[in-house]
């Protein structure tokens, strides 16, 4: 029983140190976008894009609709596309 109490006392002291304000992260300042340098890392998606060297297929773009829409639709002009990519490329789309 005394060994169990000693273990509980040790655990309580460790938990009290871990919960100490001295270990808390300092307050964060808001990130100022005016002072930031932005870098555009986007890449075009087209037939020349190399997705995976051993892939038998590549980028495919099908235009399903491009032009004026039928009556009753809230948008007078519309373009609908479907893209197909290799499974190695899809995780990089965000």
pLDDT tens digits along 19-44: 666 566 777 888 888 888 888 878 77
Cβ atoms within 10 Å, residue 78 = 14
Strand ranges, E, within 8-90: 60-68, 77-84
Cβ atoms within 10 Å, residue 85 = 19
Determine if the pTM surpasses 0.75.
no
User: Does the pLDDT at position 91 exceed 80?
Assistant: no
According to the model, what pLDDT value does residue 56 have? 73
More confident residue, 41 or 63: 63
Rounded Cα distance, 41 and 64, in Å:
28
Percent of the chain residues topping a pLDDT of 70: 65
Task: State the pLDDT confidence band at 84, using cuts at 50, 70 and 90.
Answer: confident
């Amino acid at each position: 029983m005394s060994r169990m109490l000693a273990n509980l006392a040790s655990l309580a002291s460790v938990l009290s140190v871990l919960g100490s304000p001295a270990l808390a992260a300092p307050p964060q300042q808001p990130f100022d976008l005016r002072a930031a340098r932005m870098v555009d890392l986007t890449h075009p998606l087209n037939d020349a894009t190399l997705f995976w060297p051993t892939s038998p297929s590549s980028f495919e773009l099908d235009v399903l609709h491009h032009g004026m829409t039928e009556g009753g639709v809230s948008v007078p002009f519309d373009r609908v596309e479907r893209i197909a990519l290799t499974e190695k490329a899809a995780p990089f789309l965000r």
